[in-house]
Amino acid sequence: MQQVNGIATFSAPVFDNLIERAQYHPDLLSQEEKDALLSIIEKLQCVAICGNDECRELWLIIERGSIEDFGDYDEYLENEIVSSKDEYEELWKEEYPDPIKWYLLSVKRYNEACFLFIDSKLTLHIKKETSNITESINLQLISWIDQTVSKCIDWLKRDMSGYNEYINQHLPYTKRTGRILRQDYWNIDPKEKEWMLKGLTTTDIDILKIIVELSEDDEQTIFPEKMTSGIFFDCCKIGYDANSYLQSANMKPVDLYRKFADGRDFGLTQLNPDSPQAFEEWFNKREWQFGHPWEVCRGGNSTHISLYVDKRADGWRLSLSGKSRNRVAETVRFAIALYNHNIPFKLWDAKEILAMVSGTDYIGIVPEGIIPVYCHSYFPKEDCIVDFMNLATEERDKVVKLAYWHAIGEAKLIEY
């Protein structure tokens, strides 16, 4: 941190360290810090609301600073993070590639509480409750934000159109929201297509088109027979075999399920595999709702594959689900195998999955710092975007050129 005309100035690495510390424990406890943050929020009252909970936003910029601000070279060397000064400089420019760094500042009020976000992550928070603690650990950060907010508001008052034009022209694409046609992205990065499709053929996609049509017809998806756990495990085995999961030739379907499913089956594997009555009684108790019996291919919250069983008035229905980019090929192979075995089922998000593997859908591009999962709220519903990404470093210019970018919201002052 340096002093210019008696005012503290921060370089981006120093600011980032202060942000990281604040985000680790964002609740402000001292009255001094609370008053300082409330002063910032009060200054921002002249900026027009741009969202729910009285949200107001401004873009802040800060210089990268010198390499000395990045850290201590000797410490990096001692900890074997780098082996030379050239590597150290390369690491610095990798972390801070541009002369300035941009931050989206957002403040909100809700139920007498106040929130300050940096790049959509909660950084400072004033709770409704009071506190007797006097320690002020975030005052430097709040002070710098206060100074910068004042400069931005002064700029808006002098030249609102100039401020917004500067943001529009200079805001890095890594901070923007957009979409790119998947086929265009594949043309830029053919390895991405190879990795995602994992050998799916045009014949596979033709069969998938039939499955999509069948999934639209409720009558075609009803499983008319009595359902048993044994039937369910047999269907799982069909999917496992289609994806060449490692297995012992002598393993029973139920054992394969134990090996590859989530594990929280709430007693499903203990049922008599040939008893429709046992399965129906187990299903009707619905204690399985507290487990994950249908997660037949283990994964994360958004990366597993499920084969649901649902009781219908005229029978049972199997529903296959799994549209994450890294596993959609497995889902398609699972679906094709069920179809080839004449097993009625419904493929969830069938049209979206077909578009994904055909390269005809759009990938949503979200700003850096936003985890590219469950980002549907960033895009209009009619875009039907189910897959998201951050703007990668490699081939960035090509992606920027081919993508469609959302307009940047303009900052406006309230007219009194």
As given in the structure block, the two tokens for residue 48 are 């027009």
Q: Say whether both 161 and 17 belong to one domain.
A: yes
Q: Say whether both 164 and 191 belong to one domain.
A: no
Predicted TM-score (pTM) of the model is: 0.84
Q: Say whether both 206 and 341 belong to one domain.
A: yes
Q: Which domain holds residue 30?
A: 2-64+99-171
In a domain, 129, yes or no: yes
Split into its structural domains, the chain has a count of 2
Q: Say whether both 145 and 16 belong to one domain.
A: yes
Q: Say whether both 336 and 302 belong to one domain.
A: yes
The helix/strand/coil state of 357 is helix
Buried (b) or exposed (e) across 65-85, using 16+ Cβ within 10 A? bebebbbebeebeeeeebeee
Alpha carbon of residue 409 to chain centroid? 22
By C-alpha distance, which of 246, 191, 206, 195 is closest to 394?
191
pLDDT band at 266; cut points 50, 70, 90: very high
For residue range 365-416, list pLDDT tens digits in order. Answer: 999 888 998 899 999 988 889 999 999 888 999 999 999 999 998 899 986 5
Q: Say whether both 117 and 42 belong to one domain.
A: yes
According to DSSP, the residues that pair with 388 across neighbouring strands are 364
Residue 4: pLDDT above 70? no
Q: Residue 81 to residues 163, 375, 393, 397, 401: CA-CA distances in angstroms?
A: 40, 34, 21, 29, 35
- Residue bearing the bigger pLDDT, 364 or 29: 364
Q: Say whether both 151 and 194 belong to one domain.
A: no
Residue 130: pLDDT above 50? yes
- Residue bearing the bigger pLDDT, 170 or 130: 170
Q: Say whether both 236 and 326 belong to one domain.
A: yes
What is the rounded average pLDDT of the residues 285-313?
Answer: 91
d(CA 284, CA 304): 25
DSSP 377-403: GGS-GGG----EEE--STTHHHHHHHS
